Amino acid sequence: MATSGIQTDEHRYDAVRGRDPRFDGVFFIAVLTTGIYCRPSCPATTPKRENVRFYPSAAAAQAAGFRACRRCRPDAVPGSAEWNLRADVIGRAMRLINDGVIDREGVSGLAVRLGYSERQVQRHLVAELGAGPLALARAQRAHTARVLLQTTKLPATDVAFAAGFASVRQFNDTIREIYAATPTELRDSARKAERGTNGGSGISLRLAYREPYAREQIFDFIGARAIPGVEEMVGERGDRVYRRTLSFEHGPGIVEVRERHNDGSGGGGAWLDCRLDLADLRGFTTAIGRMRRLFDLDADPVAVAEYFGPHAVLGPLSRKTPGLRSPGAADADEMAIRAVLGQQITVAAARRLAGTLVAERGEPLPEPTGGLTHVFPGAQALADADFAELGMPESRKQTLRTISGALADGSVRLDPGADRDQAQQELLALRGIGPWTAGYLRMRALSDPDVVPAGDVVIKSAMKKAGLDRTDVESWHPWASYAIHYFWSNS
């Protein structure tokens, strides 16, 4: 049963009885007799049906007075795959909230980005998720605070503000309410083994996903496109570490994501080990969101595989590579520049060009680390650049300036809550941006799971070889981006 098949409380209870991890993050179960809420896969004894209530979000369960289970940690589940699939105001709002927009810009900023009034946003979210934007952001802050308390030695005051709380009092009250413990008690309860993984600098955490997850293929895809100076993939296949720089409002950061678990095992848990080293911890929530989008960690691979299962061509491909994802972008504006650099040339050539651009115009790190030396240049810095170092046709340089200027002045928006249809039309209106580039950016920069980049030569060749034509593409919706990656991965 795919997550899309959950329609009634009886279906939800069946998933709970089966302790099915595919539904973690899709809904939450609250137990009246204990006053706690859990993820569906919680290993505790299944409660009686009459003692169970279901909630569409952790925030809704918290608002109803339930505290988080200390055993299954329901606040640490993958996000619902529905938010990337949906293009309506709810999906856009959830993508923005997960990116930390309320901490940075408040509910008013969220409403402006969505093009709705604050009252309309509140009404929509409460009707569908049982909680408004502030409650949803509060639940996210509490999870961030728990991770920081249990994986770092930061003073509680620093944790409070890094997590996005407006005051220490608000932080203390929220932690007590959600976890039934003080910040000190929560820190002391952390398992020694878990705290022991945080040697060296930075913050260690786990990025949860729904199994299966095609680690090797996903690391292959990201590694082949790694820009020198900004990204690097170190280690041997099967035991690699992806490292890259990130730019935030309050300073740069470095993130590492491991292909294997820290204990050296390739499996044993549905998560990727991650380490963040940030100049300012206020970038913590945003950094996590960016990595989740890059590695497509909120996807529902079972739903995708079941959908393509009967397909004569895509069915065998989906079974050949179970858990293949559609990687997004760590920085949408950066991805736009990269897409233009890659027009009509190979992946390797585009990577070299991007490395040249970074070396000439990137922002140097205060201290290089490994192969990481720069942060990718911002759109504002490229809007009037001559790009003499790139040695490409003037028309392509002008396209780089055009898209950089549009990103810098806001006439093209590629943030997590952007209207995807509108963004694609804005891109197509720019001179030098064709259907393939706009489609590729919709797929990766906007994490749209249902895109077929027009005119892709690899897809054309694969379809011809498989005896498919244009009419077959219609059967790929709403998971067309995954169909594309099946073909790309097997080309």
Helix (H) or strand (E) holding 373: strand 372-375
What is the separation, in whole angstroms, between the first and last Cα of the chain? Answer: 30
User: What gap in Å lies between CA 360 and CA 338, rounded to an integer?
Assistant: 15
Query: Virtual CA dihedral for 105, 108, 114, 119, nearest 10 degrees?
Result: 150
Q: Contact, 423 vs 429, CB < 8 A? A: no
Query: Would you call 456 a catalytic residue per the annotation?
Result: yes
User: What gap in Å lies between CA 21 and CA 337, rounded to an integer?
Assistant: 38
Query: Would you call 38 a catalytic residue per the annotation?
Result: yes
Q: What residues does 248 pair with on adjacent strands?
A: 251
Res 198: pLDDT: 47
Secondary structure (3-state) at 419: coil
pLDDT by residue for the chain (491 residues), tens only, comes to: 455 555 689 999 999 999 988 888 889 999 999 999 999 999 999 999 999 999 999 999 999 999 999 889 898 888 888 888 888 899 999 999 988 899 889 999 999 999 999 999 999 999 999 999 999 999 999 999 998 898 888 899 999 988 989 899 999 999 999 998 999 998 887 654 344 444 456 888 889 899 999 999 999 999 999 999 999 999 999 999 999 999 998 899 999 999 998 766 555 578 999 999 999 988 998 999 999 999 999 999 999 999 999 999 999 999 999 999 999 999 999 999 999 999 989 999 999 999 999 999 999 999 999 999 999 999 999 999 999 999 999 999 999 999 999 999 999 999 999 999 999 999 999 999 999 999 999 999 999 999 999 989 899 999 999 999 888 999 999 999 999 999 999 88
User: What gap in Å lies between CA 223 and CA 221, rounded to an integer?
Assistant: 6
Residues in the chain: 491
Q: What is the pTM of this model?
A: 0.90
User: What gap in Å lies between CA 205 and CA 152, rounded to an integer?
Assistant: 10
User: What gap in Å lies between CA 458 and CA 20, rounded to an integer?
Assistant: 37
Residue 228, Cβ density class (10 Å: 0-12 exposed, 13-18 middle, ≥19 buried): middle
Considering the candidates 38, 69, 72, 274, report the single residue annotated as catalytic. Answer: 38
Q: What residues does 282 pair with on adjacent strands?
A: none
Residues 6+ apart with CB under 8 A from 45: none
Least Cα distance to 363 among 347, 348, 381, 387 occurs for 381
Considering the candidates 103, 333, 448, 456, report the single residue annotated as catalytic. Answer: 456
Q: Which residue has the tokens 């233009």?
A: 340
Res 192: pLDDT: 43
Helix (H) or strand (E) holding 169: helix 168-179
User: What gap in Å lies between CA 96 and CA 358, rounded to an integer?
Assistant: 28
Identity of the residue numbered 311: H
**Helix ranges restricted to H, 64-206:** 82-85, 89-98, 101-114, 118-129, 133-151, 156-162, 168-179, 183-188, 192-196
Res 264: pLDDT: 60
User: What gap in Å lies between CA 26 and CA 299, rounded to an integer?
Assistant: 11
Tally Cβ neighbours within 10 Å of residue 19. 16
